[in-house]
Amino acid sequence: MSSCEKCWSDARRNAGPYGDTLELYLEYVRTRQCTPEEQVGEDAHVCVMCGRRTVHQLTGECMACGVQA
Protein backbone atom coordinates (compact mmCIF):
# COMPACT_ATOMS: atom_id res chain seq x y z
CA MET A 1 0.00 0.00 0.00
CA SER A 2 1.38 3.37 -1.02
CA SER A 3 1.47 6.33 1.32
CA CYS A 4 0.36 9.83 0.42
CA GLU A 5 3.65 11.65 0.00
CA LYS A 6 2.01 15.10 0.35
CA CYS A 7 0.40 14.18 3.69
CA TRP A 8 3.59 12.48 4.92
CA SER A 9 5.75 15.47 4.00
CA ASP A 10 3.34 17.92 5.62
CA ALA A 11 3.07 15.79 8.76
CA ARG A 12 6.85 15.61 9.13
CA ARG A 13 7.14 19.36 8.67
CA ASN A 14 4.24 20.29 10.98
CA ALA A 15 4.69 17.77 13.82
CA GLY A 16 7.55 19.73 15.35
CA PRO A 17 10.49 18.29 17.27
CA TYR A 18 8.32 16.42 19.79
CA GLY A 19 5.19 15.90 17.73
CA ASP A 20 3.73 12.62 16.64
CA THR A 21 4.29 12.52 12.88
CA LEU A 22 2.28 9.34 12.39
CA GLU A 23 -0.78 10.67 14.22
CA LEU A 24 -0.69 13.87 12.19
CA TYR A 25 -0.21 11.89 8.96
CA LEU A 26 -3.23 9.71 9.72
CA GLU A 27 -5.32 12.80 10.46
CA TYR A 28 -4.30 14.36 7.15
CA VAL A 29 -5.14 11.18 5.22
CA ARG A 30 -8.56 11.03 6.89
CA THR A 31 -9.43 14.68 6.34
CA ARG A 32 -7.81 15.63 3.04
CA GLN A 33 -8.82 14.75 -0.48
CA CYS A 34 -5.39 14.61 -2.15
CA THR A 35 -5.29 13.99 -5.88
CA PRO A 36 -3.31 11.05 -7.30
CA GLU A 37 -0.74 13.56 -8.55
CA GLU A 38 -0.29 14.93 -5.01
CA GLN A 39 -0.05 11.44 -3.49
CA VAL A 40 2.87 10.16 -5.57
CA GLY A 41 5.70 12.51 -4.62
CA GLU A 42 8.16 14.61 -6.56
CA ASP A 43 9.95 11.68 -8.23
CA ALA A 44 6.77 10.16 -9.69
CA HIS A 45 6.64 8.57 -13.14
CA VAL A 46 4.10 8.49 -15.95
CA CYS A 47 1.84 5.43 -15.96
CA VAL A 48 2.04 3.31 -19.12
CA MET A 49 -1.64 2.42 -18.79
CA CYS A 50 -3.42 5.71 -18.08
CA GLY A 51 -0.74 8.20 -19.19
CA ARG A 52 -0.89 10.27 -15.99
CA ARG A 53 2.14 11.19 -13.85
CA THR A 54 0.73 9.17 -10.99
CA VAL A 55 3.15 6.26 -10.45
CA HIS A 56 4.24 6.40 -6.79
CA GLN A 57 7.91 7.25 -6.35
CA LEU A 58 8.57 4.43 -3.87
CA THR A 59 6.12 1.61 -4.59
CA GLY A 60 5.70 1.87 -8.37
CA GLU A 61 1.91 1.70 -8.01
CA CYS A 62 -0.21 4.01 -10.14
CA MET A 63 -2.36 5.98 -7.75
CA ALA A 64 -4.89 6.74 -10.50
CA CYS A 65 -5.58 3.35 -12.11
CA GLY A 66 -3.85 0.90 -9.74
CA VAL A 67 -1.44 -0.66 -12.23
CA GLN A 68 1.77 -1.91 -10.65
CA ALA A 69 4.83 -0.88 -12.68
Residue 38 pLDDT: 96
Specify if 9 maps to a domain: yes
Could you tell me the pLDDT band of residue 16, with boundaries at 50, 70 and 90? confident
* 19, 35 contact by CB (below 8 A): no
Domain residues for 13?
5-39
Nearest to 24 by CA among 34, 10, 36, 38: 10
Specify if 63 maps to a domain: no
Residue 1 pLDDT: 76
pTM tops 0.75, yes or no? yes
d(CA 44, CA 16): 27
Specify if 64 maps to a domain: no
pLDDT tens sequence across 17-51 = 888 999 999 999 999 999 999 999 999 999 999 99
Q: Is the pLDDT of residue 69 over 80?
A: no
How many domains is the chain partitioned into structurally?
Answer: 1
